[in-house]
Amino acid sequence: MTRLHVAIAALCGPVGGPTTYARRLGAALATRDDVRVSVLTDRPGDFAGVEVVPLPTRGGVDRLRWQYVAVPRAVRRLRPDVFHDTKNALPFLLPCPAAVTVHDLAYHTTPTTFGRFSRAFLKVATADAVRRARAIVVPSQATAADLRRIHPASAGRIHVVPHGIDAAQRPDAPTLTAARQRLGLPDRFVLHVGTVQARKNVDLVVAGVQELRRRGFPHRVVVVGRDGWRADAALAALRADATAVRIPHAAPADLAAIYALADAFCSPSAYEGFGFAVADALAGGVPTVVSDVSSLPELCGEAAVRLPRLDAMAVADALAAVLGDDALRARLAAAGPRRAADFAWSTAADGHVRAWHAALAARA
């Protein structure tokens, strides 16, 4: 049987959910014998077991040249059966049917949390991509619902393919002790991981933990993640709290230790397409508090406490309930890994292969 040949564009320079998705999907596809994968990427060292086509980029607005000049030129040389873009956009003049991953539509649902240029590019690029794609992959039912609402003509081409969740690393006690000392982590802390940007509501985590301390809890806040769009409120809150710990970037081993040392994880995000940081908290058995919006209830099921509203007092109340109740904390710690085990990268790879065959069939 002739293997399906798929060319996948994976822009991995910016750290974040789409980068994690592209890397882990590539690894899952590398184990299959029914598909030939060519990855077009700015980070060739991130992919093994597949054909890699290096396409350097300088970052920033150079994404436009990468997306609309370098990628289609490489695809025309490869002549694959299907092209798949992993980040909300499609090049022009492709020689084959195309699929696209739409991670979220946050620029529509929370538009004020984006810069003007980024919002304009994402609106135009995503609208064009979902119009031309023969198959559209989304990571959650929530994103699928948003896509059907905002782009109704896309409904028949949507494939809901949840991401996988990696099993948590379990650092030993000496490793945890060394990480705590080296990173300056407090004895008791609430964790937030992710790009610090307006829609993540990091300032609510900071204020909520401050309220916890006023109630007698000893916890401080630890925030791991780079600066993102319109992060002024969050950064100001972090600067104003002398007890807060900010780690702009953590190596994978350090991040595993940080999760393992946290007493709770909190994500009061206004919108998520999937929620990798929350997924990692679940996998690690960290008692988790999330907003009751977009994909997060779908991701967490009953393995997290949901916020009734997005404000600092709601965050403090939920964290106090978790941190003050040994039985609840133990239940969440056990439920998280069970929930995370429902999301496998092999299953995600299966869903993508089905979407690519649907894209081919749509051409016929």
Residue with tokens 């929350």: 278
C-alpha closest to that of 296 among 311, 318, 274, 321: 274
Question: Which pLDDT does position 1 carry in this prediction?
Answer: 55
Query: C-alpha distances in angstroms, 124 versus 33, 142, 169, 171?
Result: 36, 21, 40, 44
Q: At what angle do helices 202-214 and 312-323 cross, to 10 degrees?
A: 60
Q: How many helices (DSSP H) and strands (DSSP E) are in the chain?
A: 15, 13
Do β-strands 98-101 and 82-85 pair in parallel, antiparallel, or remain unpaired? Answer: parallel
Question: Which pLDDT does position 363 carry in this prediction?
Answer: 61
C-alpha closest to that of 5 among 243, 351, 306, 353: 353
Sign of CA dihedral 131, 346, 49, 225: positive
> Cα–Cα distance between 29 and 47 in angstroms, integer?
11
> Cα–Cα distance between 156 and 363 in angstroms, integer?
14
For the chain (length 364 residues), average pLDDT per consecutive 10? 90 81 96 96 94 91 91 97 95 96 92 85 94 97 97 97 95 97 97 93 97 97 91 91 94 96 97 96 98 97 98 98 98 98 97 97 72
Write out the H or E segment, with its range, that includes residue 7. Answer: strand 4-10
CATH 3.40.50.2000 residue spans of the chain? 4-164+344-363, 173-340
User: How buried is residue 188: exposed, middle or buried, by Cβ count under 10 Å (0-12/13-18/19+)?
Assistant: middle
C-alpha closest to that of 13 among 50, 51, 47, 56: 56
Question: Which pLDDT does position 14 carry in this prediction?
Answer: 65
Sign of CA dihedral 265, 18, 39, 135: positive
> How many other C-beta atoms can be found within 10 angstroms of the C-beta atom of residue 156?
8
Write out the H or E segment, with its range, that includes residue 288. Answer: strand 288-291
Count Cβ neighbours within 10 Å for each residue of 231-263 and write b for 16 or more, e otherwise: beebeebbeebeebbbbeebeeebbbbbbbbbb
Tell me if the domain spanning 173-340 has CATH number 3.40.190.10.
no
CB 282 within 8 A of CB 301: no
Question: Which pLDDT does position 18 carry in this prediction?
Answer: 87
CATH number of 4-164+344-363: 3.40.50.2000
**Residues contacting 11, CB < 8 A, separation 6+:** 18, 19, 22, 41, 42, 57, 63, 66, 67, 86, 87
DSSP 172-217: -HHHHHHHHHHHT--SSEEEEES-B-GGG-HHHHHHHHHHHHHTT-
> How many other C-beta atoms can be found within 10 angstroms of the C-beta atom of residue 341?
12
> Cα–Cα distance between 75 and 67 in angstroms, integer?
11
Backbone angles phi, psi at 60, to 5 degrees: 60, -135
